Amino acid sequence: MYVRKNLRWNVVWQLTHRSLYLFIAYNTAVCLLYGPLNVHWLDIPWQPVALLGTAVAFYIGFKSNGSYDRFWEGRQLWGTIVNTSRVWAIRAFDYVHATSDEVIPEADDISELHRRLLYRQIAWCNALRLHLRRQTAAQWDIEVAPFLPPEEAATAKVLSNPPTHLLRQQSIELRELFQRGLLTEFRQVALMQTIQDLLDAQGGCERIKNTPFPRQYAYFSFIFVWVFAAVLPLGLVEEFDSRMALGQYHVWLMVPFSVLVSWVFNVIEVVGHTSENPFENDIYDVPMTSICRSIEIDLRELLGETELPPKIEAVDDVLY
């Protein structure tokens, strides 16, 4: 996610320079044909061009809103994951202990149970991030496996949906704790509700990931912008030519004005395009790596650990 208040010009240039070159070349060619070469049949009335521009503006605005909604929903889902992870940790501390005088586990055993439940939650967050980004097994060994028992990490690594498997392991652990007398039925149900909340958030993320922005909207938005950019100089060239008070070379003023309008429409379309898929590890996506690290720090601090990893910092104004 880009975190700088204003976009750097090199970022804007990277997004739009190819189209800008095309706009300059095309508009210059139209002006050259109309002016020095006197090919005046190129010009068209300005009114239909203005009407087309209005329609395209509404259309790309609709697409941009839809794309932003996908990004914002993704960020809200990960906000839910942060809060639910904290709820899971607090409930694990408060609920997992002896429920009767007949069951008196060692304090070290309880601490290890808490650690295992919280570490598996950290592993789940990282596994979900890798799952959404379709990242490699090498990253699993670095970012997920250290929080799991070796056998559990090896088993989950080869599955098609590791995050679901890890939540299933949490459920199995809760059942075993209930059978051992370390959870009451009410507490087990409350912890299972937290797992359900995590599954709901995971399902929402997978829905966004596996359902691309409708291609008919995205494709025609691109086409309409370029059609408008193609006809815009044909409508403007005669308008500038008719303004005789501007001087002999007034017709060439059409080039910068037409390029500017075309560029603005293209930028709006590109902004919508870059927001369509918020889990691609791009510079405009949800910063899942940073969020996972924040969850890890919170949960490990609750465990009383002091040797914690640093927070993820933005690199070149981008937070991943």
Per-residue pLDDT of the chain (320 residues; tens, 9 = 90+): 766 777 777 777 887 888 889 989 988 898 888 777 777 777 788 888 889 989 998 888 888 888 889 999 999 999 999 999 999 999 999 988 766 655 556 655 888 899 999 999 999 999 999 999 887 778 898 899 999 999 999 999 888 899 999 999 999 999 998 888 888 889 999 999 999 999 999 999 999 999 888 877 888 888 999 999 999 988 888 777 665 545 556 778 888 888 999 999 988 888 888 888 888 888 888 899 999 999 999 999 999 988 899 998 878 777 78
Ramachandran angles phi, psi of 278, nearest 5°: -80, 5
Q: Is 97 helix (H, G, I), strand (E, B) or coil?
A: coil
Assigned token pair, 218:
């995205």
Give the pLDDT score at 100. Answer: 60
The Cα–Cα gap between 127 and 198 comes to: 13
Under DSSP, the state recorded for 120 is H
Segments of the chain assigned E as strands: none
Give the pLDDT score at 273. Answer: 81
User: How many residues are given for the chain?
Assistant: 320
Domain ranges of the chain: 9-67+218-274, 70-212+289-302
| Distance (Å) of CA 147 to CA 154, 299, 318 | 12, 12, 27
Query: What is the pTM (predicted TM-score) of this model?
Result: 0.85
The Cα–Cα gap between 230 and 25 comes to: 12
Give the pLDDT score at 104. Answer: 55
Q: Is 309 helix (H, G, I), strand (E, B) or coil?
A: coil
Give the pLDDT score at 222. Answer: 87
